[in-house]
Amino acid sequence: MRLLILGTGGMANQHAANFKAIEGVNVVGGVDVVPERLAAFCTEHGIANHFTTLEDALAWGEFDAVANVTPDRIHHPTTLQAIAAGKHVFCEKPLATDAVKAMEMTEAIERSGKVGMVNFTYRNSPALQKGRQMVLAGEIGEIRHVEASHLQSWLVGRHWGDWKSESKWLWRLSKKHGSNGALGDIGIHIVDFASYGSGLDVAHVFARLKTFDKAPGHKIGEYDLDANDSFTMNVDFFGGAIGTIQATRTAAGQMDQLRLRVYGETGSIEIIYDTGKSTLRACLGEDVHTATWRDVPFDPVETNYQRFVQAVRAGRTQEPSFRRAANIQKVLDKALASDLSHADEALG
């Protein structure tokens, strides 16, 4: 498979490294509007062909698939261009900045017959995959309650750099730069994590979003710091369970932790992904009477990168698909609407 990487910022390095490690995959080109960044990226990863516009790359055309690692607001137009040119697409999350655009992309890829998948990176957690298997197998009975959180701390700690002086962080805090804040950035991960791990889809959302004061006049240079930093959701799931989903960038002491607890009629599971390390615990059977939790072993799982390559070779999309990402985006759109209306918002 010949792959073009579109957008050569920080996350593109993960794409290049992961795809190059897969036998039979050749990263043949890179695209970026910043020539210096493009040249450095292509030199680092040994990529022969560089383009400063997607149009130039498509005119060349010597590739089978595109890894779209552009900023969020650029996903929609560039992905549609790639689909129109007959290319498979592996898109970074979120698929688009709203569900209407995401569904347009979904319908386009499905009409084309090409593979379209989205990089929900935490699907790579073996604990999540094993926990979902347990839930779907009925090991905890009918689900009644779900708790989920995604906690980061880069607004209070400098472990990932100084957000006040680095554009790669500042744009994530600015609506005019295409950010939907914590909701759009990590909210899409934890909603997918909770829904996928529990095997349930969200039916209703009641949400609150919060933007904190972070600089004089809520502004640093060209960046208006007006995107949300934290959110909470109360949700109903189809099937009758209820739950809470929350995320923040202000959780000192937590670099990158996702936690999911699924409570069922006869038992519970807890899945934790914490900065690269996965754990799974369960309270099952007679242990429910003593509130005893036990570690559950799990095997390694294939990554999204590997699944995308397999999907292209087979000519059949695997999960997480564009349609899945569009449906998760609908939940985020309803959360934004709920914050404005101060009312419960239903998903169709």
State the average pLDDT for the chain: 96
Residue 84, pLDDT > 80, answer: yes
Residue 9, pLDDT > 90, answer: no
Q: Do domains 2-121 and 122-346 have the same CATH topology?
A: no
- The 3-class secondary structure across the chain, one letter per residue, is CEEEEECCCHHHHHHHHHHHCCCCCEEEEEECCCHHHHHHHHHHHCCCEEECCHHHHHHHCCCCEEEECCCHHHHHHHHHHHHHCCCEEEEECCCCCCHHHHHHHHHHHHHHCCCEEEECHHHHCHHHHHHHHHHHCCCCCCEEEEEEEEEECCCCCCCCCCCCCCHHHHHHHCHHHCCCHHHHHHHHHHHHHHHHHHCCCEEEEEEEEECCCCCHHHEECCEECCCCCEEEEEEEECCCCEEEEEEECCCCCCCEEEEEEEEECCCEEEEEEECCEEEEEEECHHHHHCCCCEECCCCCCCCHHHHHHHHHHHCCCCCCEHHHHHHHHHHHHHHHHHHHHCCCEECC
What percentage of residues in the chain have a pLDDT greater than 90? Answer: 96
Residue 256, pLDDT > 80, answer: yes
Which pLDDT does position 169 carry in this prediction? 92
Which pLDDT does position 168 carry in this prediction? 84
At 108-158, the pLDDT tens digits run: 999 999 999 999 999 999 999 999 999 999 999 999 999 999 999 999 999
Which pLDDT does position 202 carry in this prediction? 98
Which pLDDT does position 138 carry in this prediction? 98
Residue 71, pLDDT > 90, answer: no
pLDDT band at 190 (very low <50, low <70, confident <90, very high): very high
* Domain boundary assignment for the chain: 2-121, 122-346
Residue 348, pLDDT > 80, answer: no
Per CATH, the number for 2-121 is 3.40.50.720
Residue 178, pLDDT > 90, answer: no
Predicted structure pTM score = 0.94
pLDDT band at 98 (very low <50, low <70, confident <90, very high): very high
Residues 226 and 240: their CA atoms lie apart, in Å, by 35
Nearest to 245 by CA among 264, 265, 229, 260: 260
Residue 229, pLDDT > 80, answer: yes
Region 273-294 average pLDDT: 97
Q: Which CATH class is domain 122-346?
A: alpha beta
What percentage of residues in the chain have a pLDDT greater than 70? Answer: 100
Which pLDDT does position 167 carry in this prediction? 87
